[in-house]
Amino acid sequence: MIENLDTLLTDIQQQCDDAAHSMFGRETSRWHNPTYARIMESPDSVGEMKGTCGDLIKIFLKIENNVITEASFYTTGCGPSIVSGDMACELSTGKTVDEASEIGGENILERLGGLPEDKTHCAHLASSALQEALGNWLGKK
């Protein structure tokens, strides 16, 4: 009985994953295991943005010699907010502050392979949180 239930749950999970990949693209799997999702201890800067949808994204940065050495994020949002925050961190890590200041929502969407039209705001929310973190760091200098 339990074996049948496990098989059923595995099949349902696979169907959900297949539907998500079909709907949201190849990078959707990031929401299962995002690389950069964590609240950073002692960041050099934090940027926080809340969207009209209610999603919150925080970006945490460590910056040494004007280079982002570490980035992480926290979100209260949906799968597209998770993948967008994760991609914003990936794109900014190793970049100078000036280079990272050029990362916009369109860059995130391009690297993700797109998002559904009603979820593209998540990429812009993540880039805005990144830009706020960069601005806050520059303001401290």
pLDDT, tens digit (0-9, with 9 covering 90-100), for 77-95: 888 899 999 999 999 999 9
Structure tokens at 6: 């496990």
Mean pLDDT (the chain, rounded): 90
Query: Minimal CA–CA distance to 119: which of 129, 109, 128?
Result: 109
- Model's pTM, two decimal places? 0.85
Q: Please report, for residues 31, 34, 49, 78, 121, the alpha-carbon distance to residue 56 in angstroms, rounded to integers and kept in the order given.
A: 16, 16, 6, 10, 12
Letter for the amino acid at 86?
D
What pLDDT is recorded for position 27? 65
Range of the domain at 120: 2-140
What pLDDT is recorded for position 29? 67
Structure tokens at 92: 């900014």
What pLDDT is recorded for position 23? 63
Query: Minimal CA–CA distance to 62: which of 109, 104, 100, 111?
Result: 100
What pLDDT is recorded for position 18? 78
CATH code of the domain in which 111 resides: 3.90.1010.10
Q: How many CA atoms lie within 13 A of 82 on its CB side?
A: 15
d(CA 35, CA 124): 19
Structure tokens at 56: 């919150």
What pLDDT is recorded for position 141? 77
Burial of 127 from C-beta contacts in 10 A (0-12 / 13-18 / 19+) = buried
In the chain, which residues have pLDDT < 70?
Answer: 22-29
The count of other CB atoms within 10 Å of the CB of residue 20 is 15
Share of the chain above pLDDT 90, in %: 64
Query: Minimal CA–CA distance to 71: which of 57, 79, 59?
Result: 59
- What is the total count of domains within the chain? 1
